[in-house]
Structure 1
Amino acid sequence: MLRVGLTGGIGSGKSAVVTRLAERGAIIVDSDRIAREVVAPGSAGLAEIVAAFSDRVLTADGALDRAALGALVFADEAARRRLEEITHPRVRARSAELSAAAPADAVVVNDVPLLVEVGLAPSYHLVVVVQTAVAIRLARLARDRGMTRSEAERRIAAQADDARRRAAADVVLDNDGGLDELHAAVDALWRDRLLPYERNVREHRAVREGWAVLTEPDPTWPQQYARLAARIRHALAPADLRIDHVGSTAVPGLAGRDVIDVQVTVPSLAEADGVLARRLADAGFPRVPDVRGGHPRPATGDGGAGREERLHGGADPGRPVRVHLRVAGSPGWRHALLTRDHLRADPGQRAAHLLVERELAAAPPDPGSTTTGDPWSAEEYLRAEAWATRTGWRP
C-alpha cells in the first residue's frame, strides 16, 4: 500500500482535499476523529487528561470539554506539550491499526493536522501539504468556525508556519483559488502520481529514469535530498548508517540531470542484500537488479571489484532518485565523496564537469540501460585525487 501524509494549517481547506481523495478511492485515516476517539468518556486517555488538568476540562455529563481544554493549552506552551504527550502516542497507535487493516493495493491517506510539528513526515511514502494564504484562512475561521480574529491568529501561531510545512512537503496543493481549481489539482495528483506510485511500491518496481536531460541548478535539490534521506533513515532504523548526498545535485550551482543521488554506507554488500533491501523497497526505494556502479575505474589493484554497489531506484514517478549502497572505505564509496567535495571546492572543475555532462546528454541513450550512469570522467577522477593529496582531504 501507499502511505500518504496529508497536512495543512488550520483553515487551509484540508478537509476539501480529504473529501476529494476519498471520492477518488483513497482510504482516509482521520487523526482528528481518532483524537476524539482516544479521549471518549471512559477511556484511559480522558482519565489521564483529567489527572493532568483537573475536572475543569469536563462537561456536566463527563465528556471532554474541548473549548475549556483548548483555552488552557493554547495559552500555555507547557500545557499544550503535556496534552500532546497524552494524546499523540494513542493517536499514532490507532492510526497504525487502521492503516494495517487496509487492502494491500490501497492508497492510505493519513489526515494529520500536526504532522510536521510532531516529526511524522519520514514515516510516509509521500507528504502532501495544503497551503493557503493567512488572510484567507483567517476569513474562513471566522466564517466557518465563529472564531474571533485574535483566537484564529493564536491558533495559527501555535502550528508550524508555511515555510516549515513546505520543507516537509513532497507536494504542495495551493488552495488560494476556487474549489474547482483545487479539485483539478487533487485529481491530477491522484491520477499521475498516487496511483502509479502505489502500484510501483506494491510491485517493488523502480521508475525507469529514461535519458534525463540537463537542467539548470535547482536550489531546492538539497531540501529534496533531506526529505529522501530522512525517509531512508526511518526505513532502515534501528540501523544508524551514514547517508550522504552525492552526484551533481549535491554541488550548489551546478547544472545536472534532475536525479537525486543518495549514498548509504553499509558494512558489507551481504547486509545490503538482506533486510536493508527489503526495508528500502517497502519505503518506496526498490532494488534495481544487476547494475554495477557507473564510475570510471582507474587502476586500483582491485580489478574494479571495490566499486561494486547495490543500486535502488525510486518508486515515486514524481521524483527520480538513485540510492547507492556502498561499503565503507571502498573505492566507489570514496570516489563519490571525493568528486562531490572537489567540485564543491573548485568552480573551475565544475565548468569542466559540466562539459562532460553535456557530452553524455548529447549521446544517444542505451536502450538496454536501467539507469543513466554517473558522468565522471577518468581525467576528473585523477584531478580530484591530486586535489585530495594537495589539501589533505579525507572522506
Structure 2
Amino acid sequence: MLRVGLSGGIGSGKSTVAARLVQCGAVLIDADKLARQVVEPGSAGLAELVDRFGPDIVTPEGALDRPAMAKKVFGDEQARADLNAITHPRIGALTAERMAQAPADAVVVHDVPLLVENGYAPNYHLVLIVDAPEQDRVRRLVDRGLDVEDARARIRSQATDEQRREAADVWLDNSGPVQDLVAEVDRLWSQRLVPFEQNVRAGRRAPQRPPRIVEPDPEWPRTARRLGARIRQAAGDNAVRVDHIGSTAVPGLPAKDVIDLQLTVRSLDDADAIAEALGEAGFPLDDGIRRDHPHSFAPDPDQWLKRYHNAADPGSPVNLHLRVQGSPGQRVALLFRDWLRDDEAARADYSRVKRELAQRFAEDPDHERYAAAKEPWFVEALPSAQEWASRVGWVAPD
C-alpha cells in the first residue's frame, strides 16, 4: 500500500486532483467528510460538543450549526483546542479504519486541507500539493459565494507557499487549463505512484539511473529534510539523529541527483530492529552492503559495519546509511561533509574527480564501479580532512 497525502490552499483545485486520482484507481479518504461524519446527528462526537459548548450549536433539525460553532472558537485558542480534542481522535480513528479497509495494493490518497498546518507530512510516502495563483483562488472562492475580502482572509489564514513547498514531494501547478493539470496527474499516477506502490509492497528499490553529475540544486536540502522526517518517524526511538550527508549536502558542489542520508543508531541490533519499518516507509534494505571501506586509522573491518537502505520511490533516489553512534564510518561521513563545506579547494578537486569518473562509468547502472573508483580519493583526502578538523576544533555532533 502507498499512502499519499494530498493538500493545497483553499481554492487551489485540490478536489480536481482528488477526483482524477480516483478515476485512475486511487482509494480516496476525504478528511473533510470524516470530520462531518464524527459530528453527525445522534453521534457521540456531537453530544460531547454540546456538553462543552452548549445547545445553541445545534440546529432545530439536530445537526451541528457550523456557523454557530465557528463563532464559539473564533479567536479563542482554548475553545479551538477543546474542539480539536473532541473531534481529532475520532477523525484519526476513522482514518485508520479506512486505511485498514483498503486493498494491500492500493494507492491511498488522504485529502487533508490542513496537512501542512498540522505537521502530518511525515505520515505519508509522498505528499502532493496543489497550487494556483492567489488571484485565481480568490476568483474561484467568489464564484462559490464568498466576498473578496473573506476569500483573501481565508487564504491568508492558511499555510504559506514556503511552508507548503517544504512539505511537497510533488508540486502540482493549477494555474493553466484544467486539462494540463489532469495530464500531469495522469503522468504522476503511471510513472511514479503505481511503481512506487509496487516497489514498497515488493520490498525493492526503484531502478537506478546511470551516474550523471548535475549542477547544485537548491531543492536538495529541502528534499533531505522531508525524507529525514519520514525516516525519523519510521525509526522512532531507535533513531539518534538523521543527517544529510554526501555531495548533495555540500552547497555549490555538483553531484549525482541522489540524496545521501545517515541515520545514526545506538547499535546494529537497533538498525536491524527497524529494517522492516523503514521498508514499509519506502526505504527497503539492501542486504548486499554491510560495511564501509576501512581507513588506516581504524583498520579493523568490523569497526566499519553498517546497514544500507535505499528508496522505493522512482522519483527520488536515496542512499540511506545506518551507522552506529561514534563509529568511524559515522564520524567520517560527517567530517567529509563539513570539511568540503568549508574548503573551496577540496570541493573543486572532488568535483573534478566526480565529473571524470561519472563520464568514465556513464553506463554503470548500479553505480558500483563508479563508487569503487572514488574510494582512492577519499583515502588520500582523509588526512587533509582530519588536519582541518584539528585546526578548527571540529567534533562530530551528538
Shorter chain as normaliser: what TM range? Answer: over 0.9
Matches within 5 A, 1:286-297: 286-293=284-291, 295=293, 297=294
Q: State yes or no: 1:344 paired with 2:345.
A: no
Question: What TM-score does the superposition give when structure 1 sets the normalisation length?
Answer: 0.94
Aligned to 1:160: 159
- Matched residues in 1 for 2:102 and 2:266: separation? 36
Which residue of structure 2 aligns with residue 231 of structure 1? 230
Describe the superposition over 1:24-49 as per-residue Cα deviations: whole angstroms up to 9, x where unpaired. 10000010110000011122221222
**Secondary structure class of the residue paired with 1:373:** helix
Per mean C-alpha deviation after superposition, the further-off stretch among 64-73 and 322-331 is 64-73
Structure 2 partner of 1:193: 192
Structure-2 change in CA distance of 1:172 and 1:14 (3 Å) = same
**Deviation at 1:212?**
2.2
Question: Aligned partner of 2:139: which letter?
Answer: A
Alignment partner for residue 309 of structure 1, among 303, 306, 309? 306
CA contact under 8 A between 2:211 and 2:364: conserved in structure 1? no
Aligned-partner residue type, residue 334 of structure 1 = R
C-alpha distance 90-371 of structure 1, shift in aligned 2 (>3 A): farther
> 8 Å contact 1:127–1:169 — kept in the other structure?
yes
Q: Contact between 1:74 and 1:158, CA under 8 Å: does it hold in 2?
A: no
The equivalent residue for 1:384 is: 385
Shift of the 367–6 alpha-carbon distance from structure 1 to 2, 3 Å rule, reads closer
Asked if the contact 1:269/1:327 (under 8 Å) is kept, the reply is yes
**Alignment partner, residue 107 of structure 1:** 107
Structure 2 vs 1, CA of residues 332 and 311 (structure 1 numbering), >3 Å: closer, same or farther? same
The aligned residue for residue 217 of structure 1 is 216
* 190-199 vs 302-311, greater mean Cα deviation: 302-311
The letter of the residue matching 2:345 is G
Name the CA distance, whole Å, in 2 between partners of 1:82 and 1:119.
19
User: How far is 1:50 from its partner?
Assistant: 2.0
Structure 1 residues 294 and 267, CA gap change in structure 2 (3 angstroms): closer
Residue in 1 aligned with 2:46?
Answer: 46
Give the residue type in structure 2 aligned to 1:31. A
Q: CA deviation at 1:151?
A: 2.0
Q: Which residue of 2 aligns with 1:177?
A: 176
Asked if 1 retains the 8 angstrom alpha-carbon contact of 2:283 and 2:310, the reply is yes
Q: Give the match for residue 118 of structure 1.
A: 118
**Partner Cα separation in structure 1 for residue 214 and residue 3 of structure 2:** 30
Report what 2:247 is aligned to.
Answer: 248
Contact 2:290 2:307 in 1 (8 A): yes
Distance 1:335 1:18 in 2: 45
Cα separation, partners in 2 of 1:248 and 1:369, compared to 1, 3 Å: closer
1:133 and 2:146 are equivalent in the alignment: no
The aligned residue for residue 279 of structure 1 is: 277
Question: How has the CA–CA distance of structure 1 residues 369 and 252 changed in structure 2, closer, same or farther, with 3 Å as cutoff?
Answer: closer
Tell me how far 1:294 sits from its aligned partner.
Answer: 5.4
Question: Could you tell me how far 1:292 is from its partner in structure 2?
Answer: 4.3
Deviation (angstroms), 1:150: 2.2
Please give the alpha-carbon distance, in whole angstroms, between the structure 1 residues aligned to 2:310 and 2:207. Answer: 8
1:298 equivalent in alignment to 2:295: yes
Q: Which residue of 2 aligns with 1:14?
A: 14
Offset of residue 314 of structure 1: 0.3
Contact persistence 2:200–2:279 (CA under 8 A): yes
What letter matches 1:312 in structure 2?
H
* Amino acid aligned to 1:122: P
Work out the CA distance in 2 between the residues paired with 1:99 and 1:23. 19
Shift of the 27–370 alpha-carbon distance from structure 1 to 2, 3 Å rule, reads: farther
- CA shift, 1:93, in A, is 1.6
Which residue is 1:93 aligned to?
Answer: 93
Distance 2:257 2:128 in 1: 21
Write the distance in 1 (CA, Å) between the matches of 2:150 and 2:55.
24
In the alignment, what sits opposite 2:4? 4
What displacement does 1:360 show? Answer: 1.8
**1:81-125 deviations in Å (ceiling 9; x for gaps):** 432232222212211110111111000000001111111100000
CA offset at residue 389 of structure 1?
Answer: 2.0
C-alpha distance in structure 1 between counterparts of 2:7 and 2:20, whole Å: 15
Deviation digits for residues 46-104 of structure 1 (CA, Å, limit 9, x no counterpart): 12222332222211122101122234434545443432232222212211110111111
* Contact 1:293–1:373 (CA under 8 A) maintained in structure 2: no
Farther off after superposition, 35-44 or 185-194: 35-44
Name segments (4+ residues, structure 1) moved above 4 Å.
74-78, 292-295, 365-372
Q: Which residue of 2 aligns with 1:327?
A: 324
Distance 2:129 2:227 in 1: 16
| Alpha-carbon shift at residue 253 of structure 1 (Å) | 1.4
- Quick one: distance in 1 between partners of 2:40 and 2:73? 19
The amino acid of 2:390's aligned partner reads: T
* Letter matched to residue 282 of structure 2: G
| 8 Å CA contact 1:311, 1:322 repeated in 2 | yes
Residue 393 (1) aligns with residue 394 (2): yes
Structure 2 unaligned blocks of 5 or more: none
CA RMSD of superposed structures (Å): 1.8
TM-score normalized by structure 2? 0.94
Contact (CA 8 Å) 1:2, 1:201: kept in 2 or not? Answer: yes
SS in 2 for 1:238: helix
Find the counterpart in structure 2 of residue 354 from structure 1. Answer: 351
Q: Aligned partners of 1:116 and 1:262: how far apart in 2?
A: 23
Query: Structure 2 CA distance, aligned partners of 1:228 and 1:109?
Result: 19
- 2-side partners of 1:30 and 1:320: how far apart? 30
2:270 equivalent to 1:266? no
Kept in 2, the 8 Å contact 1:74–1:155? The answer is no
Paired with 1:138 and 1:261, the residues of 2 have a C-alpha distance of 41
